[in-house]
Amino acid sequence: MRGVPFLLFSWFLFGPSLLLAERATYIVYLDKTFMPKIFATHQNWHSSIIDTIKIEAPTTQNSHHPVPNLLYSYDNVLHGFSVVLSKDEFEALKKSPGFLSAYKDRPVEAHTTHSSKFPNLNPASGLWPASGFGQDVIIGVLDSGVWPESASFRDDGLSEIPKKWKGICKPGTKFNSSLCNRKLIGANYFNKGLLASDSTVKISINSARDTDGHGTHVASIAAGSFYKGASYFGYAPGTARGMAPRARIAVYKFSFEEGTVTSDLIAAMDQAVADGVDILTISYGWTNIPLYEDSIAIASFGAMMKGVLVSASAGNSGPEMGTLNNGVPWIFTVAALKTIIKDLRVLYNESISPCDSFDPSSPIPNARRSIIICYSTAVDVEDQMAAISESSFGGAIYISDYPDVLRANFFPNPGVVISTKEGKQVIDYASKSVRPTASISFQETHIDVKPAPVVSSFSSRGPSRSYLRVAKPDIVAPGMLLLAAWPSNVSAAVIGVNTFLDSDYRLLSGTSMATPHIAGIAAMLKGAHPDWSPSAIRSAMMTTANPLDNTDKPIKTTDYFITRDATSLDMGAGLVDPNRAVDPGLIYDATPQDFVNLLCSMNLTEKQFKTIARSSAKHNCSNPSNYMNYPSFIALFNPNEDYNWLEQKFRRTVTNVGPGAAKYKAKVTAPKNSTISIYPQTLVFEKKNQKQDYTLTIRYKGIADDQAQSGSIIWVEENGHHTVRSPIVVAPALDAWT
């Protein structure tokens, strides 16, 4: 999902001509084993298929029956193409040899100076120096483009571009190839699907240049270079830097101001893998899409098969359970938390107004020095702020207990947000005093607030409807008011009614902001351990994540004003800890064949299976298995059934990636109303890279009014410093998830 401008956006396409209303864009999946040997390339085969389905129709430009229009040929993350067809042409296509499935193109929902301090990255020790700050690892950013002039994309001190890179810096509107460098090594853009969807669409900036801001922000969080003096109008001042400040960035723009569609997204993913990226970060997705229709899940499977890790956002539809996007086992699913940057005055309050202070020199026209007090909810606070901007009030005090009320940094007038408890004090003072007075001060950033971090209420919750046997999300990273690069020609703030302000850096919120944190850290782990698979990298980050806040208590979440301990359905394994992830001790690895076996065990038709796994010719499906060597555990029960105890067994394999021989003992914390047994309880490794199996059995009792309950298994190394933690969750399975 995306954090700009802090509302959930869907792109809808309006006004297609009557001609296009009778036609549609389809994403077509093919079995490549049917490709005749006569064709030298897959593009030749795809063009031949299109030629065979042409309905008798004139070929002139004035024709009311245009021929099928091939948009993209895909061959890296999936095999097939996207094409504009009539209904009759589509029916003819379905009879083509090798046809598996096809789905109409659809709109895609788009889901840091101080953020880097939370993972405790240190230039002298830990993951940064171990990975060379991500040197030569390539992160592909799938988003709204890039503002190449930003200081976050300078290439000072970087070596030559890695020889494995095969991508381009594509010129276009207000963008030439000289804008790429040794940091921003590639820029490409894809909008054929958008243009085909609506004949009235005119792309204003037909290039990789970012006119939205979201892509620039995400790219700089993942791998922005060091830049001193960054701030958002005085807030969060310091040195801006991405998670992997020496990693290379390749930008693939598929999201335009005019719209965002699936066919362009898949084209971007397909090209990124062909170009040689190591990591992909994507902050877009859908909710409630079947696995075999979820193009991001399908393309991510193809990327995983080629060794590319895909980091994707969980979405911004929380805090209800089962709202998670991108929840398949082969995607690294990222939730968001707030690290809490606050203004602190006499009362606990929050404000991110770009004003220096509340005084007569305020630039707001006709501002009076009166302050209005407003009761606010999550829904109406921004409407209140906008209304006050159009009024004669100089400032406001907003009373709200909504935990993410400042998820947006829309603060057009001086104002602060306080809790209802503190609001009673303010109202009492204002109503009883003869001449009540108040003052508001700004630009004071505090990063030592306790308790912190806290899971953001907007962050989507698991379990994943796509696959219920894996606990999702996987991990949580900072996603609330993150400072990162911003285009200089896109407004960063507004004061009053129509005074717009620019800034080279901006604070944004969303799981969009959390996802590139994980992509950047994954890039550094890839740099430190080039032989690790995507599953190994994910395991290292999950088993070393911290489930505790800065008061050494379980990380909390506030859902509809109720504060409770977060479960792994809220935060995954916990807050990422990069310095521990570089040396995790044990990992839960998985091979591409393991994921194929998983698909084999699902209730998929042959064509649905091949849609995801591509041609089955190279894959062995003789051993279907729902076994997944995942670094977490989930057991679901039906709260409506009458039973006493249920039992579920899991098998796992861990690999010793420590320096040599090691011995580990199990330490178990069972979820409420559950018992956990482990066999064996001790794992002995004689050498590095040795594997050992164990089984974990959960016996649990479903209680109708129970919510999700968390526990864990921690493998503790004897006479060593490694602890390897896996979360366990027991939760009610709603009917919609079955």
State the catalytic residue, choosing from 31, 105, 136, 143: 143
Environment class of residue 115 by beta-carbon count within 10 Å: exposed (0-12), middle (13-18) or buried (19+)?
buried
What CA–CA distance (Å, rounded) separates 146 from 209?
Answer: 5
pLDDT of 353 strictly over 60: no
Position 378 confidence tier, pLDDT thresholds 50, 70, 90: low
Chain Cα centroid distance, residue 161: 27
Cis omega (within 30 of 0) for bond into 463:
yes
What CA–CA distance (Å, rounded) separates 576 from 126?
Answer: 14
**Residues 88, 89, 91: CA angle, nearest 5 degrees:** 65
**Residues 88, 89, 90: CA angle, nearest 5 degrees:** 90
- Which residue type occupies 131? S
State the catalytic residue, choosing from 214, 529, 619, 722: 214
Q: Of 229-243, 442-456, 503-517, which range is least confident?
A: 229-243
Per-residue pLDDT at 535: 98
What CA–CA distance (Å, rounded) separates 607 from 103?
Answer: 13
Position 407 confidence tier, pLDDT thresholds 50, 70, 90: low
Residue 143: active-site member: yes
- For residue 658, give both structure tokens: 């420590």
Nearest C-alpha neighbor of 696 from the set 678, 709, 672: 678
Helix ranges (H only) for 433-583 are 511-528, 534-543, 568-571, 578-581
The pLDDT > 70 percentage for the chain reads 79
Segment 98-145, tens digit of pLDDT: 999 999 999 987 763 334 444 566 666 677 777 777 788 999 999 999
Segment 257-290, tens digit of pLDDT: 999 999 999 999 999 999 999 999 999 998 788 8
Per-residue burial over 626-644, b if 16 or more Cβ lie within 10 Å, else e, is ebbbbbbbbbbbbeeeeee
The mean pLDDT value of the chain amounts to: 83
Per-residue pLDDT at 56: 42
What distances in angstroms separate CA 659 from CA 375, 583, 701, one per listed residue? 59, 9, 41
pLDDT of 58 strictly over 70: no
Other beta carbons within 10 Å of 615 = 16
* C-beta of residue 494 within 8 angstroms of C-beta of residue 656: no
The DSSP 8-state label assigned to residue 132 in this structure reads: G
Q: Is 627 left (phi over 0), alpha (psi -120 to 50) or beta?
A: beta
Q: What is the mean pLDDT of residues 630-646?
A: 82
Residue 46: active-site member: no
pLDDT of 364 strictly over 60: no
Q: Which residues contact 432 (CB under 8 A, 6 or more apart)?
A: none
State the catalytic residue, choosing from 313, 457, 512, 712: 512
Q: Which residue has the higher pLDDT, 20 or 205?
A: 205
Q: What is the mean pLDDT of residues 649-670?
A: 96
Position 481 confidence tier, pLDDT thresholds 50, 70, 90: confident
Residue 512: active-site member: yes
What CA–CA distance (Å, rounded) separates 143 from 126?
Answer: 30
